[in-house]
Amino acid sequence: MTMRRRVHRILWAVLAAGAVLVASAPAASAHGEASQEAFLRMRTVSWIDTTFSATTVKQGETFTISGTAKILDAWPTNLAKGNPNTGYIGLIAPGPVVLLKERTINGVSAPSRIDVQKGKIYEYSMTVAGRRPGKWHVHPAFSVKGAGTLLGPGEWITVEENPDGFDNPVTLVSGGTINLENYQLPFTWIWLVLTFLIGLAWMIYWTVPKRTVTNLAVTSQIPLNTDGMDYGLITKKDHRNMNWFALGTALLLVAGWIYQSAAFPDKMPQQIFQFAPPDPAIASAPVFATVGLGEAEYDSATQTLTVQAQVTNTGDTPMNLTQFTTTTLKFATGTTPGPGVMTVSPSPTIAPGAPAQVTLTMKDPAWETERLVPIGESSLLITGVLVFEAGGEKNYTELQANLTPRFE
């Protein structure tokens, strides 16, 4: 085989391998949440009762994502210097396939960032509209300045094409309604292309009728601060024509300025809102549940996490342990072990008075698929929120447990 044929074969092989690699790559459908260290995800924000009001909408139709997020007291000292103070509850989606139309936090409208604090509870509701037809994975997310974005439980949302078309209306203070999808787009393009064409004309003036590369023979022999008029490099006519160019450009800017002043007389700078949302009702609920530091054990053979903790009911009536939630996982109290179920022994009902030792068992492959068992990480800790209910009130009580992995 000749060298030439060998090189050709190698090139074709590389090309084919590249094509196979690209063609066989699956579409990315997750948002990297499993790549963050488990103990950090579990110790930062807990998501409670996340609900999506619909999973299929037409373009322009809305659905609601609501739930509760708690910034844990166990917030690690190495994120946001241990003191989270600015946050943003938003959406994670593959680009603007959905639109965020409304957001309330603890009952008040919250267009942008908010003040946050360790231990505080944020009841959020986001009204989201379908925009781009397709099936999209959408998460609520809590971004905290100095830490990053912490994802809540996600859901697949199908956005169907709206046969009536789709627009995104916004009402101006001046009274008109605009479609945000394409508002001012024609003018923006015309303006940008117009300025580009002036630049192109300037370039054509200098480079097409004049020789360029060979001018170096002359310019290399004359001082820098001369236009070479004596040698015909730049002529008086060039000066005159460039004056016209500059004047024309200035006139265009003047015309544009007059247009914007007349068309949009009311303008204002971009707005920054940052405020502390009011505390939700649950924050002032009586505290009737306390939990001591627990001991956790993870059995990789059965994918089961067992936590032993001392729980005290400081109230007057029996309380029920109804849920354990940590980052994107939720375990509701039940009797049959399995995904999303937590069995509590001796009983999920805890009488008032003396501390009770309870064992929580959660058997779920999600511990590993979501990479939430911090084996191999620098902190063997399981953290989350236990939800207790008594007399119509709820307590969100943090649970921390030292983890002992079983390696067999």
Partner 1 sequence: MAVDSKTLELRALKDKQYRWIDRKWDAVFWITAAFVVGAAADITKQLFAGDWDFWTDWKDRQWWPIITPFAIIIIGSALQYIQWLAWRFPTGMTYTATAMFLCTLIGRWLQWGAFVYYPMNFVWPATMVAAAIFADWVLLKTKSFVLTSLIGSILFSVTWWISNYIPMAAFLQPAQWMDRVVTVSDIQGIEYVRSQTPEYLRIIEHGSLRTFLGETQYVSLVFGATVAVAGYWVGQFIGRGLAIWPIGRFMKKW
Least separation, in Å, of the C-beta of 10 and partner 1?
28
Count, residues near partner 1 per rule CB under 8 A: 103
Least separation, in Å, of the C-beta of 278 and partner 1?
14
Map residue 204 onto helix, strand or coil.
helix
Cα–Cα distance for residue pair 359/308, rounded to 1 Å: 4
Least separation, in Å, of the C-beta of 197 and partner 1?
9
Q: Which of positions 91-110 make contact with partner 1 (CB under 8 A)? A: 91-103, 109-110
- 258's CB contacts (< 8 A; 6+ apart) are none
From the number of C-beta atoms within 10 Å of its C-beta (0-12, 13-18, 19+), residue 58 rates as middle
Q: What x-and-dash track marks residues 314-353 binding partner 1 by CB under 8 A?
A: ----------------------------------------
Specify whether the CB–CB gap between 117 and 45 falls below 8 A: no
Q: What x-and-dash track marks residues 369-388 binding partner 1 by CB under 8 A?
A: --------------------
Map residue 299 onto helix, strand or coil.
strand
Specify whether the CB–CB gap between 106 and 68 falls below 8 A: no
Tokens, residue 286: 């009586």
Our CB check for partner 1 shows the closer of 102 and 299 to be: 102
Beta partners for residue 45, in sequence order:
71
Least separation, in Å, of the C-beta of 299 and partner 1?
35
Q: According to CB under 8 A, which one of 64, 79, 245, 405 is a site residue for partner 1?
A: 245
Q: Which of positions 210-229 make contact with partner 1 (CB under 8 A)? A: 210-219, 221-222, 224-228
Q: Which of positions 16-75 make contact with partner 1 (CB under 8 A)? A: 31
Q: Which of positions 135-154 make contact with partner 1 (CB under 8 A)? A: 141, 143, 145, 149
Residue among 62, 96, 76, 56 nearest 150 (CA): 76
Specify whether the CB–CB gap between 98 and 91 falls below 8 A: yes
Our CB check for partner 1 shows the closer of 148 and 286 to be: 148
Least separation, in Å, of the C-beta of 54 and partner 1?
18
Beta partners for residue 35, in sequence order:
none
Q: What x-and-dash track marks residues 272-301 binding partner 1 by CB under 8 A?
A: xxx---------------------------
Specify whether the CB–CB gap between 37 and 374 falls below 8 A: yes
Q: What x-and-dash track marks residues 177-216 binding partner 1 by CB under 8 A?
A: -x-xxxxxx-xxx-xx--xx-xxx-xx--xx--xxxxxxx
Least separation, in Å, of the C-beta of 323 and partner 1?
28
Least separation, in Å, of the C-beta of 186 and partner 1?
10
Least separation, in Å, of the C-beta of 59 and partner 1?
12
Question: Which one of 53-61, 83-91, 296-304, 326-334 is the stretch in contact with partner 1 (CB under 8 A)?
Answer: 83-91
Cα–Cα distance for residue pair 149/57, rounded to 1 Å: 26
Least separation, in Å, of the C-beta of 58 and partner 1?
17
Specify whether the CB–CB gap between 118 and 83 falls below 8 A: yes
Residue among 116, 121, 118 nearest 281 (CA): 121
Question: Which one of 261-269, 301-309, 331-339, 365-373 is the stretch in contact with partner 1 (CB under 8 A)?
Answer: 261-269
End-to-end CA distance of the chain: 55
Residue 331, phi then psi, degrees to nearest 5: -125, 115
> Can residue 252 be called a binding residue for partner 1 (CB under 8 A)?
yes
Our CB check for partner 1 shows the closer of 185 and 293 to be: 185
Q: Identify the helix (H) or strand (E) that includes residue 144.
A: strand 134-144
Tokens, residue 121: 């509870």
Our CB check for partner 1 shows the closer of 74 and 128 to be: 128
| Cα-based distances in Å from 83 to 9, 40, 75, 115, 147 | 60, 14, 8, 11, 10
Q: What x-and-dash track marks residues 151-170 binding partner 1 by CB under 8 A?
A: -----------------x-x
